[in-house]
Amino acid sequence: MASTKTIGLSLGADLCWPIFYEDILKEMSPEVTVAGEKIRFDVERVTIEPFDLAQPVNYHVLLDRLTPWYHTSREWIKKAIVHDDLYSLNNPFSLQSMEKHTSYAAMMRLGMPIPKTILLPPKEYHDDLPDLHMTLSSYAKMFDLAEIGEQVGYPAFLKPYEGGGWKGVVKVDNADELQKAYDESGKQIMHLQAAVHPYDLFVRAIGIGPQVNIIRFDPDAPLHDRYKVDFDFMDGDERQHVQDIALTINSFFGWDFNSVESLRTDGLFMPIDFANANPDSQVTSLHYHIPWLVKALIKWSLYCAATERRMRHHVDWGPFFLIADSDAPFEEKLAGYAEIAAERYETARFEEFCDKHLGVLDEVTWEYFATDRAHEAVRRKVAVLFPEHEVDEFTAHFWGLLDFWRKTERDRLDAS
């Protein structure tokens, strides 16, 4: 008799990938044996409703897409971790507390080449808070914004310190533009960060557990065309380097599902944006690359459920800092950080699990992305984002890219 491990999907506006995930898993119907126990898997979408803090949680693993912005679900997830030993992708405590600001500072400490960044106090304050008024009257120091701009250099980006994608991000090329952007920033705390300029390559590395997919990225393209379909834009050493950066960042903060953006300038990769837990996961942005994402989520979630992987309740930075404080060159340090990541993600055990139990996943996924069910999921997502008169056109566009994925995937599978 097999026991059942239930995987919960805590979803917001996600539409397409959960359908892909559920359908492929149902078609696979995997049964694995771990430590002599036969295990099957079930998937359930998590509802939003009042909850008793002592109420048991029936999920073994949670794919969390709500912690960054929906407080009710976030608090249920936190409760389920501390009270019921739920394993969640990602760690909501780390995710809630880590602004972009902190992530920059941490990776600077590890020796990564982060662009020069200065935090600016808000331009405006809430004037109805007496304690704040008294504090600022006593301790706020006037500063010369133009002088700070010269320290950072131009071009630069003024952007909210907590992130928020491209919302509120302004490129400035001189002191006048900086002053105007800062005046318009209102009550937000802002970063002024030097632009990486010029650069010859922009990549986004998507990490799911120990799995990393590095994609060429064009931030200036329309949303549906930013993730490029390209294959030979980096050599093997560069790929290993960027992969190690992504695994270092993700394991440092206790994140299972995150993306890391890096720019290459004069052969050096500079991470510029990497606190992106719960990154893009829609066919309308990832298109060709979404089968990889779905397979990676299936593999990591099944592994975590079957092995009863435990949450790392606190982020232990000590081992990273021991390496960071050594006299070793950065490449040597990065290799050491990657070893910590491999240990924390149990990479060798994970790969053995996938080889032993999930060998059919590639073929099932390849077949699935030719089905009417997959096509309808693509169309449903397109219909949400595109005007009615463009739905047919862009459904065909994304479906064509998935068909191209099937061609290249078939070549890969036949060659292996």
pLDDT above 90 as % of the chain = 85
Where does 201-415 sit in CATH, by number? Answer: 3.30.470.20
Residue 7 pLDDT > 70, yes or no? yes
Residue 88 in contact with residue 77, Cβ under 8 Å? Answer: yes
Cα–Cα distance between 112 and 355 in angstroms, integer?
34
Return the CATH fold of 3-97: Rossmann fold (3.40.50)
Cα–Cα distance between 75 and 89 in angstroms, integer?
14
Residue 165 pLDDT > 60, yes or no? no
Query: What pLDDT is stored for residue 168 in this prediction?
Result: 79
pLDDT above 70 as % of the chain = 99
Tokens standing for residue 339: 């070893």
Maximum Cα interatomic distance, the chain, rounded to a whole number of Å: 72
Pairing of strands 201-208, 170-172: unpaired
Sequence-distant (≥ 6) Cβ neighbours of residue 300 within 8 angstroms: 89, 208, 209, 211, 256, 350
Find which of 20-24, 65-69, 89-93 is predicted with most confidence, using mean pLDDT. 20-24
Tokens standing for residue 199: 């650069």
Residue 128 pLDDT > 80, yes or no? no
Residue 354 pLDDT > 70, yes or no? yes
Per residue in 140-162, pLDDT (tens digit) is 889 999 999 999 999 999 999 98
What does pLDDT average to over the chain? 95
Cα–Cα distance between 270 and 104 in angstroms, integer?
11
Using the Cα atoms of residue 47, residue 51, residue 55 and residue 60 in order, give the sign of their dihedral: positive
From the list 252, 205, 263, the residue with the least C-alpha distance to 109 is 252
Alpha carbon separation from 44 to 39, 150, 195, 364 (Å, rounded): 17, 54, 44, 21
Average pLDDT on 338-355 reads 98
Lowest mean pLDDT, pick from 66-75, 205-214, 264-273, 302-311: 66-75
Query: What pLDDT is stored for residue 164 in this prediction?
Result: 60
Cα–Cα distance between 373 and 26 in angstroms, integer?
13
Lowest mean pLDDT, pick from 137-146, 171-180, 230-239, 321-330: 137-146
User: What single-letter DSSP state applies at residue 166?
Assistant: T
Cα–Cα distance between 125 and 184 in angstroms, integer?
13
The pLDDT-based confidence of 416 (bands split at 50, 70, 90) is confident
Looking at the chain, which residues constitute the CATH 3.30.470.20 domain(s)?
A: 201-415
Q: May I ask the CATH class of domain 116-194?
A: alpha beta
Give phi and psi for 234, each to the nearest 5: -145, 150
Reduce the DSSP state of residue 192 to 3 states and report it: strand
Cα–Cα distance between 43 and 125 in angstroms, integer?
47
Q: CA 89: distance to chain centroid?
A: 10
Q: What is the model's pTM?
A: 0.95
Residue 167 pLDDT > 90, yes or no? no
Tokens standing for residue 322: 């021991």
Average pLDDT on 357-386 reads 98
Residue 291 pLDDT > 90, yes or no? yes
Query: What pLDDT is stored for residue 166 in this prediction?
Result: 55
Looking at the chain, which residues constitute the CATH 3.30.1490.20 domain(s)?
A: 116-194
Long-range contacts of the stretch 110-113 (C-beta < 8 A, 24+): 110/248, 110/252, 110/320, 110/323, 110/324, 110/333, 110/337, 111/324, 111/330, 111/333, 112/245, 112/270, 112/271, 112/330, 113/268, 113/269, 113/270, 113/271
Alpha helices by DSSP H, listed for 117-256, are 130-139, 145-152, 175-183, 236-253
Average pLDDT on 257-266 reads 97
From the list 8, 4, 58, 7, the residue with the least C-alpha distance to 31 is 4
Residue 215 pLDDT > 80, yes or no? yes
Residue 199 in contact with residue 263, Cβ under 8 Å? Answer: yes
